[in-house]
Amino acid sequence: MRYRISYFLIICTLAVLSACSHSLETRQREDALVACHQISAAISSHSAVFAPGTLHANGPFGCTDAYHDLESSYYSESPEYSEDIEHWVSSSSQPSVCSVEPGNVEDLSKILLIIASHRVPFAVKGGGHIMNPGFSSTRGVHIAMSRFSEINYDASTQTVDVGAGLAFNDVYDALEPFGVTVVGARLPGIGVAGFTLGGGFSWFSNDRGLAVDNVLAFGLVLPNGTYTDVNESSNPDLFFGLKGGSNNFGIVTKFTFKTYPQGQVWGGTYFIRGDYLDKVNAAISKFTSPLQDPKASLMAGYTFSNGSASAALWLFYNGPTPAPGTFDDILAIPAYQQNVSTQSFASLIRNIPNTLQPGARGVFNTLSLTSHPEALLKAVVNETTFWGESLISEPGISSTYILQPFLPSAFTHGPDGSSAFPFSHRLMLPACISYIWTNSTLDALMYEVTRRSTRHLALVAEAEGQDIADLPLYGNYAIFRTPLERIYGENLGRLRSIKRQYDPNNVMALTGGWKF
């Protein structure tokens, strides 16, 4: 059963809130409740608004902790609301006053205008894979884009229109019968919107560039409620800004991607025990020194979990069989589990594990490298082990340090200044440092551990002679409070100018993300 917000619920909740202290958060939530009610009255049957649950008739309303009471003691959570605010890690979720599922651009326009009129915090969630708290969640009005789920392939133009509420594995599955695919995410469950608006590294990036290099148009609801199709000829400034510039210019409803013919591929996941990490280091360093075949790609993850270190290697070759010698050194290392085979591209993505235990919390951080010599890989192993053993008394903590080699060609598929990210065409190899834990009281500690570990590895890389100080940092991995200059560099001034032009009332500052 779907629970729409009722007038009775609004009045009852406002009565409780008005009897309590009017802090800034209280006032914001009062305004958000009013906004939720107005949205519910304004939208069509194509859209829906959901409350945290149904109000229980019994029990007094106490004011000592009104929000806690309303959000847990007196509500039974509706499944639609729960799904709307859910993220890959629970630390990225927040209890919003309501969730909203717009079903068309007309309703989304109304929703955005109502939010703007009340100046209430809001969130926009596509896939929900972002790790930074508050980037796609809110205690105000939560917009879930799940109803924007169209996939319209045009064989005559070799393009596909993709709704902003989809994950890339949905797109791969839908395109497989046509024998084509798009440049998208490498793991299942990654949302089209956040991945693409951040730049988007792909299994195909060596010879096709980043996801943003393969977007031909965006459907965008501007902060003033106007819908517009943005492409290079209609609006070059907005087109530039949306290609890696996050959610600063409005809410994207669809993406038009180039498609490419796609046959069978080779690859999968290869798990190796800690006893063989020296051999893993040697094999990865050899694979990348230098990387030459644009069809070959991998991600090397060094993990520490349950008291021991290990490696998870994600292997990919864009063809049914890798060129001789490509992965031989890696495959010579015994695997305790693996699913490497020749299969369709959509199948490859579906078969990559990418789930966490319920309630898991987590964070990403990043540094950009220029190479993966054995000395650096050994430092990564040492770092993984050091923090794993230091935190071993706390149950439920695991870490993964992922290294990703690319060819320089991955960064040359658009002319200089063609996209907000990356701001430089220099070779950058994004490392992803990921920590997972279960105890919310450890949040501050784990954020600090992740920052310290990343800084240490940057110092190691610099000591090894890598010139990384001015390399772009990948915003989809960067931890919150990373300076914008490190993500957008010399593009930041232009991006801020575009933001002022299309959002003079700073509506998009009411939502999370990298804010210009």
pLDDT digits (tens, 9 = 90+) for 184-208: 999 999 999 999 999 999 999 999 9
Cα 165 to chain centroid distance, Å, stands at: 13
Q: Does residue 107 sit in the same domain as residue 242?
A: no
Looking at the domain assignment, is residue 1 inside a domain?
no
Looking at the domain assignment, is residue 516 inside a domain?
no
On the question of pLDDT at 7 being above 80, the answer is no
pLDDT digits (tens, 9 = 90+) for 337-381: 999 999 999 999 999 999 999 999 999 999 999 999 999 999 999
On average, the pLDDT of the chain sits at 92
pLDDT digits (tens, 9 = 90+) for 224-244: 999 999 999 999 999 999 999
Looking at the domain assignment, is residue 324 inside a domain?
yes
254 contacts 164 by C-beta, under 8 angstroms: yes
Q: Does residue 295 sit in the same domain as residue 324?
A: yes
Q: What is the 3-state secondary structure (H, E, C) of 301-331?
A: EEEEECCEEEEEEEEEECCCCCCCCCCHHHH
Q: Does residue 86 sit in the same domain as residue 231?
A: no
Q: Does residue 103 sit in the same domain as residue 170?
A: no
Dist CA 45 CA 115 (whole Å): 19
pLDDT digits (tens, 9 = 90+) for 250-278: 999 999 999 999 999 999 999 999 999 99
Looking only at the bridges linking them, the beta strands covering 122-125 and 141-144 are parallel
Q: What angle do CA 473, 358, 85 make, to 5 degrees?
A: 65
The percent of residues in the chain predicted with pLDDT above 70, rounded, is 91
On the question of pLDDT at 325 being above 60, the answer is yes
Q: Does residue 258 sit in the same domain as residue 269?
A: no
Q: Which domain holds residue 104?
A: 7-117+126-140
Q: What is the pLDDT of residue 397?
A: 97
Dist CA 434 CA 398 (whole Å): 8
Q: What is the DSSP letter of 6?
A: P
Q: What is the pLDDT of residue 164?
A: 98
User: How many residues are present in the chain?
Assistant: 516
CA quadruple 369, 372, 378, 382: dihedral, nearest 10: 30
Q: What is the pLDDT of residue 70?
A: 37
21-25, 28-32, 392-396: which has the minimum mean pLDDT? 21-25
- Structure confidence at residue 4 as a pLDDT band (50, 70, 90): very low
pLDDT digits (tens, 9 = 90+) for 84-120: 999 999 999 999 999 999 999 999 999 999 999 999 9
Q: What is the pLDDT of residue 77?
A: 66
Q: Does residue 276 sit in the same domain as residue 186?
A: no
Find the CATH number of the domain harbouring 217. Answer: 3.30.465.10
Looking at the domain assignment, is residue 348 inside a domain?
no
pTM of the entire predicted model: 0.91
Distances, alpha carbon 406 to alpha carbons 104, 207, 284, 318, 381, in Å? 38, 10, 12, 14, 21
* CA nearest neighbour of 96 among 80, 108, 107: 80
On the question of pLDDT at 294 being above 50, the answer is yes
pLDDT digits (tens, 9 = 90+) for 62-76: 233 333 333 433 345
Q: What backbone torsions phi and psi does residue 276 show, to the nearest 5 degrees? A: -110, 15
Paired strand residues for 429: 369
Looking at the domain assignment, is residue 145 inside a domain?
no
Q: What is the pLDDT of residue 480?
A: 98
On the question of pLDDT at 5 being above 70, the answer is no
Looking at the domain assignment, is residue 2 inside a domain?
no
Q: Does residue 258 sit in the same domain as residue 295?
A: no
Looking at the domain assignment, is residue 205 inside a domain?
yes
Q: What is the pLDDT of residue 428?
A: 96
Q: Does residue 200 sit in the same domain as residue 286?
A: no
Q: How many domains does the chain have?
A: 3
426 contacts 412 by C-beta, under 8 angstroms: no
Q: Does residue 86 sit in the same domain as residue 135?
A: yes
Find the CATH number of the domain harbouring 478. Answer: 3.40.462.20
10-19, 135-144, 384-393, 492-501: which has the minimum mean pLDDT? 10-19
